[in-house]
Every structure is written in C-alpha cells, then in structure tokens.
C-alpha cells in the first residue's frame, strides 16, 4: 500500500480522495510532471519544476500554495515509500468548484488540487528493453495544438500506444504534415553519421527535460546536433534512432514501420548517450 500526497496530506492510497467536480476529472483541466528516481534521488528535479510552472502559467492556472515546497514533498514520498528506482507522478488541476462550468472558477474560492504518488520500478535504469531496443510504427498526430504544455489530456497518446500494441510493436511516432513530431510519451531522434537530429522546439512537441539534458551532453561530447523536422523515410535510412523521456532515459529504436534502422539493433551512439545521461544525471541527483 502506497502513501500518496493529496492537498497537503500524506495518506494511504485507498484513503486519498478528489471531488467528482474536479476540473481535472471533468475537463482534463490539469497539468502533470513525472520525475524519475535513481539511487533514492530525484533526477533533474529543477527542470521538471521549471516546466511545471510554465505549464501553469500558460493555462492561467493559479499556483498552489505548496509550489515552493514540492522538492520536500517529492523527497518525503520517496522516503515514506522506500523508493530506490522509480518515478514520482505529480498532477495539479484547477480544482473543484461547486458545479460544472466551462468558465474557469474564481481562484479566490477554488484552489488547485495537488496530487503526487510514487511508482516503484526496481531495475528502471538497467532495463532489458534498452539492450534490445524498441520498435515503433508511425501514426497521424491527432492531438491538440498546444503540446508544449504538459496537460493530462492523454487520450490520443493512449490510443497511439494501443495502435502500437495492436501492431505488435512497442510505441508510435506521430507524424504531422509529413514530419515526425514525437513519440506518444517521448521525444524522437535519428542519427546520421556524427549528427543527432531531433525536431526543433515549438508548440508541436513537449519540451522534454531529458531532451534538453541529452542534447547538452551530446554537444559536450563533440557530437553535432541538428534541431529540425525529419520524415519517417529519413528515419528508416538513418544509422540509428532513439527516444528520450524521464522514465526511459535514452532508449534505442531499432525498427520504424517494419523497416530495420541501421543494423536493426541498438547503435553505439544511442548506447553511449544512455550511459552518459545516466552517469551525469546520477551525479547531480537531489
Ligand atoms: N513528449 C511527450 C508527448 C511526453 O509525454 C513526454 C514525457 O512524458 C516527453 C516528450 C518527454 O519529456 P521528459 O523528457 O520531460 O519526460
């Protein structure tokens, strides 16, 4: 039984409750973050905290009182649940007014709902999937146009994972106007020679915290980085491909729409980037 955090209280998971009028439940009016834990410490907490604040601001959502203390709340949940490797999920919604209404509630009377819980994942860093690589299919990107805000509107990404599952693969890369945007819950990359290619930032993709770190480490390791769109055909002809996210770190992609990428197994650059990312992130984990 997990101990979770709801609106200022640490409770057993089966005692934690949120109103049926909560705007997260009725309108998907909420934002979230997922921070990974390695060696009992938080990976890139500052990056996640900064993006969370940006998501709140972009949606005119009031800042919850606990916002400056979220590091302590994360640490307390890690401690209470004895997490060595895993994730902390955090969600903030616009709160629960007295009734359902499209108009935002008055922030004076309706305060945000804040929920955090842990996901224990022993072996997260030493994942067998990273040794094998994952396979992806391409699907049309049918999400809303503000994907830079990390909202809880995850129905299309969830449908995308089901399409991947039905196709017997691990995930889907979404395509818009002929170019890859990102994976259902990760950023997408290809490698051609010594160059790492990943879509430029904009409203079309989530600005991954892992993406920012990996691109920084790649440049420090003298690799070339090109932030631009690429197509599925380009990915199929690339030397390597991979994805990044807080929970998968750097994960090699070995097949795109049934075509092997490079040698059809995890490539040296993706493997090296995964190693660098894990080593460097562990050094500065909080
Ligand atoms: N893109 C999407 C659509 C995501 O949902 C995620 C993570 O959940 C990412 C990218 C990767 O972001 P991060 O590295 O911050 O986990």
- Residues 252-270 as b or e (16 or more Cβ within 10 Å = b): bbbbbbeeebbeeebbebb
Q: What is the pLDDT of residue 137?
A: 99
Mean pLDDT for each 10-residue chunk of the chain (286 residues)? 98 98 98 98 98 98 98 98 98 98 98 98 96 98 98 98 98 98 98 97 98 97 97 98 98 98 97 97 96
Q: Which fold has domain 3-120?
A: D-amino Acid Aminotransferase; Chain A, domain 1 (3.30.470)
Separation of CA 159 and ligand 1 centre (Å): 16
Q: For residues 93 and 28, what is the distance between their CA atoms, to the nearest angstrom?
A: 8
Query: First and final CA of the chain: distance in angstroms?
Result: 25
Instruction: Provide the pLDDT for residue 21.
Output: 98
- 214 ligand 1 Cβ < 6 A: no
For atom 9 of ligand 1, which residue has the closest CA?
Answer: 186
For position 30, what pLDDT does the model report? 98
CATH tag for 128-284 (out of 3.30.428.10, 3.30.70.270, 3.20.10.10, 3.40.50.1980): 3.20.10.10
Q: Are 136 and 102 in contact (CB under 8 A)?
A: no
Q: Which pLDDT belongs to residue 37?
A: 98
Quick check: do 3-120 and 128-284 share a fold? no
**CA separation for the pair 121, 138 (Å, rounded):** 28
Q: What is the pLDDT of residue 155?
A: 98
Question: For residue 49, how many other CB atoms are within 10 A of its CB?
Answer: 20
Phi-psi region of 170 (alpha: psi -120 to 50; beta: other; left: phi over 0): alpha
Residue 281's SS3 state is helix
Residue 55, pLDDT score = 98
Nearest CA to ligand 1 atom 12: 208
- Taking the domains of the chain in order of start, what are their residue ranges? 3-120, 128-284
User: Are the beta carbons of 262 and 190 closer than 8 angstroms?
Assistant: no
Q: How far does residue 183's CA lie from ligand 1's centre (Å)?
A: 8
């Amino acid at each position: 039984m997990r101990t979770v955090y709801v609106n200022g209280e640490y409770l057993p998971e089966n005692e934690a409750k949120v109103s049926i009028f909560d705007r997260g439940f009725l309108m998907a009016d909420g934002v979230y973050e997922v921070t990974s834990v390695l060696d009992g410490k938080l990976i890139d907490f500052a990056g996640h905290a900064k993006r969370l604040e940006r998501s709140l601001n972009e949606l005119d959502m009031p800042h919850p009182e606990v916002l400056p203390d979220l590091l302590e709340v994360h640490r307390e949940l890690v401690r209470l649940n004895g997490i060595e490797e895993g994730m902390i999920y955090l969600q903030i919604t616009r709160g629960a007014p007295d009734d359902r209404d499209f108009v935002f509630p008055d922030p004076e009377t309706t305060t945000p709902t804040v929920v955090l819980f842990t996901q224990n994942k022993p072996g997260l860093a030493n994942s067998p999937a990273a040794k094998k690589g994952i396979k992806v299919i391409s699907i049309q990107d049918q999400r809303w146009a503000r994907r830079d805000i990390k909202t809880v509107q995850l129905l299309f990404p969830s449908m995308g994972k089901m399409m991947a599952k039905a196709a017997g693969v691990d995930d889907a890369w979404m395509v818009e106007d002929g170019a890859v945007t990102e994976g259902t819950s990760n950023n997408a990359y290809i490698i051609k020679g010594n160059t790492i290619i990943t879509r430029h930032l904009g409203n079309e993709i989530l600005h991954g915290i892992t993406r920012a770190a990996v691109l920084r480490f790649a440049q420090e390791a003298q690799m070339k980085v090109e932030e631009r769109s690429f197509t599925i055909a380009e990915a199929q002809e690339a030397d390597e491909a991979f994805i990044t996210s807080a929970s998968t770190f750097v994960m090699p992609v070995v097949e795109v729409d049934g075509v092997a990428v490079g040698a059809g197994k995890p490539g040296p650059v993706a493997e090296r980037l995964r190693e660098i990312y894990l080593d460097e992130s562990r050094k500065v984990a909080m």
